[in-house]
A and B are shown apart, each in its own frame.
Chain A
């Protein structure tokens, strides 16, 4: 089932002479893992920002369940429909892991009664125990922070999860764990998982591999 459709999407930074993204067409479905690969500066993160609703395309349209993101309340979209695992993680570092999750649930308007208990469950699911969950993010290891970011992206049960280099700073064992979680989210829970990566190992977990070069998206596998 198509959950996200990109139609002739273009993007140009303010004042730039050239489009960063050009005529991008793609369809993303629920229950599948997608990876987008490309060189640095190819436009991967820009594309992710557009899909995440953090920015608006300068041309074309991005349809979420048939609705153009341009016309949607994009704050609401980010809060409820999409979970983003940023490359820089973007966690509230002076808050605890569990506080990060609970706050995300609040922002999304989650109906969960005991949000804290649910946050602990989510964190446990990504391998963060209670002790670590109660520590400030700044005091967690890189791998733990990555897991907290995943848990946060899942906290509001979104349809789409996008991850920008989610295993960039991780050792192989943790990388496998994280990729296992993301794959499971797609295959077992029906989420649409889109991963931007440089890593060939990551692409091996994908159902579809897309490449991006000079602002053009093309399917590799």
Chain B
């Protein structure tokens, strides 16, 4: 107890030296507080975005490989070379979803359909063809115009509040569907009504259109619900016809849409989104997919472009803050070691006296450590306060610099490119992302940061005391006092 008391007295007795030491420690602590707050906050943000972006896996065809393959297959042929990705059958999509690396897999499917018993909204604007005109010798096969679209498992608008059930329930079983209230009103559709749709699937036998075989498929669906639709009727800038009108979307289950699917046939667009448990598992998951038969023409990856665009400046900020902290800690520790060393030389006589009075070395050392700890704790309390206040403006400034640097880098030629993706196979992973970088970070002082700062402070105090203590152990009181006297 008296050692603590004596440590306090000693601090007051040597104000000048301790103020100098305290100032250095204070500066180190402020820098550490700011750097750690930035580091931990940005760390959480990065983890969050990483789990959101980097855990969502996309299977996208590689355009270059696709072209190479098409060219190789068409070697010697005189017809047009058609580049199209191979079809991933729904069974394979589902099989891919059975992986220990995934925590979730979402499957969607869609196809264009026509109905013999209901009329589409904006039918007067016409429909839309899903394939081109096929010329085979003298025969001309005109493409079918479709007026409706049938979507399996496309319910995200309900989660986002843009669509809501007006009556009935969501489709759960095979051949159940829901329709928009506008379409229901136009056609007098009620819950329990049966709707018939026809569609087409195509088998491309070779590299030219002429080889395409078309099969008509049928859907008999029961209406189990009617929904209000607050989405934009047409996509901005898109073509306006019955098919593109979102009020004509018939929503059903994934299994219903893919029921008529035949291996090798296109016409049903299937997408699957896989969510890996950890972004680091993506390469393993990719390896597993190739082993399960995924064509090597496909790439397995994440939306890195969006992730990098959004989080890149934050990662830069984090890196700057950590580098800054390390530099401050190294130089600070060196300065403290120097000051401690000088201070202990100055206090050599005092230590000699204490040792001559019978104070044991470890108690002298403890006293010195406590002095350092008290000074550091005071600096910590002040540093936490000032550091917390300084962290936000410092972050804003540094982040703005990082965003500016990232923008400058992205405008340089040769940067910002990426693989081209095709949207008909999987959810599109945009290569050149339009995502906006994070421009604001709300810096928080959480318990973890406080504990880290306390630990660093303790280490700092211990290091400074250690430098002093290591010198004490070399001193014998008789020598110190003899030198003095």
Check A75–B353 contact: CB distance below 8 A.
no
Q: Interface segment, A89-97, A123-131, A179-187?
A: A89-97
Check B353–A84 contact: CB distance below 8 A.
no
Check B14–A94 contact: CB distance below 8 A.
yes
Check A88–B485 contact: CB distance below 8 A.
yes
Contact flags (1/0) for B347-372 with A, using CB distance below 8 Å?
00110111111111001000000000
Given contacts A49-B478, A55-B478, A75-B360, contact A90 B353 (CB under 8 A): yes
CB distance from B409 to the nearest CB of A (A): 59
Bound CA span A55–B478, Å: 7
Q: Interface segment, A30-38, A57-65, A99-107, A188-196?
A: A99-107
Q: A residues within 8 A CB of B481? A: 54, 86, 88, 90
Check A107–B13 contact: CB distance below 8 A.
no
Check B356–A95 contact: CB distance below 8 A.
no
Bound CA span A152–B353, Å: 12
Instruction: Report the nearest A residue to B12, measured CB to CB.
Output: A94
CB distance from A138 to the nearest CB of B (A): 11
CB distance from A90 to the nearest CB of B (A): 5
Check B484–A88 contact: CB distance below 8 A.
yes
Check A78–B356 contact: CB distance below 8 A.
yes
CB distance from A125 to the nearest CB of B (A): 19
Q: Is the interface of B mostly helix, strand, loop or mixed?
A: helix
Check B354–A107 contact: CB distance below 8 A.
yes
Instruction: Report the nearest A residue to B478, measured CB to CB.
Output: A54
A146 within 8 A of B: no
A87 within 8 A of B: yes
Bound CA span A218–B2, Å: 43
B6 within 8 A of A: yes
B477 within 8 A of A: yes
B9 within 8 A of A: yes
Q: B residues within 8 A CB of A78? A: 356-358
CB distance from A38 to the nearest CB of B (A): 18
Check B478–A108 contact: CB distance below 8 A.
no
Check B352–A90 contact: CB distance below 8 A.
yes
Bound CA span A49–B476, Å: 12
Check A79–B359 contact: CB distance below 8 A.
yes
Bound CA span A107–B353, Å: 12
Bound CA span A156–B476, Å: 22
A77 within 8 A of B: yes
A22 within 8 A of B: no
Which among A49, A88, A94, A104 is the interface contact of B357 at CB below 8 angstroms? A104
Instruction: Report the nearest A residue to B350, measured CB to CB.
Output: A92
Q: B residues within 8 A CB of A44? A: none
Bound CA span A84–B485, Å: 15
Given contacts A86-B485, A91-B353, contact A107 B478 (CB under 8 A): no
Q: What are 9 sample pairs from A and B whose C-beta atoms fall under 8 A apart?
A: A54-B477, A75-B360, A76-B358, A78-B358, A90-B481, A94-B13, A103-B6, A106-B6, A108-B358
The interface of chain A, by Cβ under 8 A from chain B, is: 49, 52, 54-55, 75-80, 84, 86-88, 90-92, 94-95, 99, 103-104, 106-108, 152
The interface of chain B, by Cβ under 8 A from chain A, is: 2, 6, 9, 13-14, 349-350, 352-360, 363, 476-478, 481, 484-485
5 tightest A-B CB contacts, nearest first: A79-B358, A106-B2, A78-B358, A88-B485, A54-B478
